[in-house]
Amino acid sequence: MSLIPWLRWNEAPPRLSSRSPAEMVPETLMVELEGQMREAERQQWGRSNAVRKIRTGVDYSWLASAPRPTYDLSPGERLQLEGVCAKIHPSYCGPAILRFRQLMAEQEPEVQEVSRLFRSVLQEVLERMKQEEAAHKLTRQWSLRPRGSLATFRSRARITPFASDIRTISQDVERDAPPPPRTWSMPEFRAQKED
């Protein structure tokens, strides 16, 4: 039997974050962007090293490694991206990160292109959010629409089982025949003749 569970009795219970999910979404997305930028930078440095090895035929990277220049976003661009990230709903954060990683793996962009790719993914997610919100709004309107009863249906639609658009011989004969004499107990209705 292990004594480790007994030794943890005085530790504080794990606390949940006091921040709301809406506050965590921009931070999570920006951390993902920075990580992908570092990875793209590392891959770009590896490719340039491979080209240098092929060109010179000798690898001196073990001897002295020069500090690599790092690419960083401008403050204006960072603020714009954070503003767009703040519009993303928390339920779309995961799919946005997955789509961004998928595009990064497919395209293998240069470091300077990563922020543009990230912005395009965020725009896709915002468009999808708008489309789903519009669809949700339509279904909500449809479900809240008052239901019509059978009585209102009867008043709107007259069903005449014997009415037909198909002309018959008897209709032609009836049109050419003079109208029958009217019965005095019934009112007389006549359709206006069109010439």
125-180 pLDDT per residue, tens: 999 999 999 999 888 888 877 665 555 545 555 555 555 556 666 666 666 666 66
Helices (H), 57-163: 75-86, 93-107, 111-144, 150-156
Q: Between the ranges 39-53, 80-94, 133-147, where is the mean pLDDT highest?
A: 80-94
Q: Does residue 75 sit within a domain?
A: yes
The pLDDT > 70 percentage for the chain reads: 60
Q: Does residue 59 belong to any structural domain of this protein? A: yes
Number of domains in the chain: 1
pLDDT digits (tens, 9 = 90+) for 67-78: 666 788 899 999
Q: What's the chain's average pLDDT? A: 78
Q: Does residue 149 form part of some domain?
A: no
In a domain, 14, yes or no: no
User: pTM for the full model?
Assistant: 0.61
pLDDT score of 184 more than 80: no
Residue 47 lies in a domain: yes
Rounded Cα distance, 27 and 86, in Å: 9
Is residue 132 situated within a structural domain? yes
Q: Give the whole-angstrom CA distance, residue 48 versus residue 56.
A: 12
In a domain, 27, yes or no: yes
**Domain membership flag for residue 157:** no
Range of 2-11, 40-49, 110-119 with top mean pLDDT: 110-119
Domain that holds residue 84: 21-142
pLDDT of residue 13: 59
The three-point CA angle 32-34-39 to 5° equals: 95
